[in-house]
Structure 1
Amino acid sequence: MTTDTYSSLAALEKSTITFSDGPLAILLVEDEVEAQSSLDHMARIGFATIVAMVPEAVPLSPPQGVTMVRVGWRNAAPGAAPAAVNAVARKAPGLWMHYCFNAEYLFFPFCETRTVGEMLAFHTEERRQAMLTYVVDLYTDDPKGDGAADRSQAHLDASGYFAEARLDPANRKHPLDRQLNFFGGLRWRFEEHVPPQRRRIDRIGLFRAAPGVDLHDDHTFSEPEYNTFACPWHHNLTATICSFRAAKAMMRNAGSRDAINTFMWYRSVPFEWHSQQLLDLGLMEPGQWF
């Protein structure tokens, strides 16, 4: 394992570093909560190069066999996350990459026995340059304090997910081709505590870096085809990012913390930390990959 360190995002951007081996993962660390477990999960599913955007005070240990680049970073202003992802993408033209925050975990079909590289090789053969991921909220039955992100007590919603047409901003009566807005989970059940622009659960969590293609703050890309859920001729692979991030935020915000006594409801089920459960619930699909 090797580790390179840059004091800031600006220092990374000014450096001569380039990434030539993929796929590559970007971990956006906002605090210490499950930062190490998120990093270890990335290595376990097949990412050999990980760029960790980390506040100085947060400790992280590179997993065995992983090349880690540590960059001083804080998610302190609007646009900080896409700026970090775009900066890395410009250093890695043509490479597949994944980004997520701490206390988030990427799952894809058959990830227990196949690597992310094998999946993306197939996805590339289908002439796809990006992959839709659903952010599925994780939570515990005792959300107060650190319990909001207890992996041993993780639950998720087994139903309540839905999609709406994504309309063309230039013509609000015209739906965009193969683009949908997806909703569900805590952001749906407790929507009064979530700004409207943060209620969607779709994210293009895997994409191929390309010149002129930038990530936006709403987790969409400047290239419309990147934002599609499938190609025109058949369904494609999708993946899931299982995330404690919404639960953490709701328990740290004074308004929602005092209003929410439990995240549990009649459709809460324990999370099994296995891709088959997510496939069975329809939260991702294998497409033509078997």
Structure 2
Amino acid sequence: MKFSGLSDFLINGKSVLAKGPVGLILVEDLVEVDTTLRHHLEHGFHALVVFAPPELTLPKDIDAKVHLVTMDVHQPGALLDAVNQVIAAAPGQWLYYCYNAEYLFFPFCEHRTIGEMLAFHTEERRDAMLTYVIDLYADDLDRFPNAVSLEHAQLDRSGYYALARPDPANQNHPKERQLNFHGGLRWRFEEHIPPKRRKIDRISLFRAKPGLVLRPDYTFNDEEYNTYSCKWHHNLTAAVCSFRTAKALKSNAGSTFDIHRFTWHNSVPFDWTSQQLLDLGLMEPGQWF
């Protein structure tokens, strides 16, 4: 189903939001849109809502399975505006958001659906899930100048770390059960990344409720949503494997000529499995086995 804009979708497509989980995908460019949508459809989302420029065309088999909303994706805050308006229209539903050329992985996702995982997470009285954005990049920038290749994707096997998240409202003391996570290309090429955009954590999976607002740093105005676990034990986390940073560094005139390769001694081929991410400690199963 196609909608002429966000307002059209919220008026005439509200039934799409009647059952979750719902995936919200913002198409910033035309790179790997097909594979992004197929990957998330395979996870078992009840619906995928795709916010895209008018020039996007989809294969017929995908076009019939997603809800396409035409909009100006380059307007400042386009993702935030879309997600926050959907939050207001879908109280109680589990939502997920990402960009094109980003791929969600969660523990055992090859054999279990997103609905099964979120049902377990809900039973643990959690309304949000921390996800780490793991940078992917092509192994050869001469062959793949936009840094994107699914068949030759690499990721960093180490170099990730966490810092306390200060609370300005409490004399900058650390916030409870909240950390700022760093690593990947945003860490290795930090001279090209503004400080406020260097962290790699997002709350990509969450349950909508009245008054909930997604902020520009990918956290919410409800501080409990921003925690990595509950008070009594560790919880599930997931990973969003993303070419977005690599694409940006190679398309930005201020960085592209300074970067001749992304690979280094800690690069390893990405095998596109949740087990590899679990083995590298890039997500956690919590109590879910």
TM range (shorter): over 0.9
Matches within 5 A, 1:154-193: 154-193=153-192
Q: Please give the root-mean-square deviation of Cα atoms over the aligned residues, in Å.
A: 1.6
TM-score (norm. length: structure 1): 0.95
Distance 2:70 2:284 in 1: 36
Map of 1:10 onto structure 2: 7
Matched residue SS, 2:172: strand
Identity over aligned pairs, percent: 57
Task: Output the amino acid matched with 2:89.
Answer: K
Letter in 2 for 1:24: V
SS at structure 1 position matched to 2:179: strand
Give the deviation of 1:217 after TM superposition: 1.2
Asked if residue 43 in structure 1 is aligned to residue 16 in structure 2, the reply is no
Shift of 1:62: 6.4
Q: Is the 8 A contact 2:38 2:62 kept in 1?
A: no
Structure 1 residues 61 and 91: CA distance shift in structure 2, 3 A:
farther
Shift of residue 88, structure 1, vs aligned partner:
1.8
Shift in alpha-carbon separation, 1:79–1:147, aligned structure 2, 3 A: closer
The separation in 1 between residues aligned to 2:23 and 2:171, in whole angstroms, is 35
How far has the Cα of 1:142 moved from its partner?
Answer: 1.8
- Asked whether the equivalents of residues 48 and 65 of structure 1 are also in contact (C-alpha less than 8 Å), the reply is no
CA change 1:146–1:62 in 2 (3 A) is farther
> 2:119 aligns to what?
121
How far apart are the structure 2 equivalents of 1:108 and 1:16? 28
Deviations 1:37-92 (A, max 9, x none): 10001101111300000101012246569742211123323321111111222222
Task: Identify if the C-alpha distance between structure 1 residues 266 and 66 changes in structure 2 by more than 3 Å, giving closer, same or farther.
Answer: same
Q: Give the distance between the partners of 1:156 and 1:16, measured in 2 at CA.
A: 38
Checking the alignment, whether the CA contact within 8 Å between 2:148 and 2:247 is kept in structure 1 is yes
Deviations 1:92-126 (A, max 9, x none): 21111111000000000000000000000000000
Once superposed, which parts of structure 1, at least 4 consecutive aligned residues long, lie more than 6 Å away? none
Unaligned runs of 5+ in 2: none
Provide closer, same or farther for how the CA distance between residues 61 and 96 of structure 1 changes in structure 2, counting only shifts above 3 A: farther
Say yes or no: does 1:211 pair with 2:192.
no
Counterpart CA distance in 2 for 1:211 and 1:16 is: 19
Deviations 1:217-239 (A, max 9, x none): 11001111100000000000000
Q: Where do 1:83-102 residues align within 5 Å?
A: 83-102=81-100
Q: Is the 8 A contact 1:134 1:240 kept in 2?
A: yes
